[in-house]
Amino acid sequence: MDTSEKSKDKTYQKIMEQLHIFMEHLPSEEDKKILSKMVSECYHKHCESIKSMERDDPDLITQLIMALLVDQISLIERLKANNH
């Protein structure tokens, strides 16, 4: 998803607005960039699941967190498999 697509996607914009306060308080710019990249990649991959709760804004973050957890667990499992 490129920058122009993100700026047109209202759901993505709502999520980023909701995360803005949290991201402001991260300790470094690097942490902010990492979280922003994770959210962007995860949203692009799971946008249909996340958008399923679009009518209820608080659930957007819940949907995003669930998608992030799925991605992180998948990554951990792949790393474990590669180490064995």
Token pair in block for residue 31: 């942490």
Name the one residue in this structure whose structure tokens are 């803005």.
20
Q: What is the pLDDT of residue 84?
A: 76
Q: What is the dihedral of CA 75, 77, 12, 6, to 10 degrees?
A: 30
- Rounded mean pLDDT of 57-71? 81
Percent of the chain with pLDDT over 70: 83
pLDDT at 56 over 70: no
How many Å from the N-terminal Cα to the C-terminal Cα in the chain?
34
Q: Is 84 helix (H, G, I), strand (E, B) or coil?
A: coil
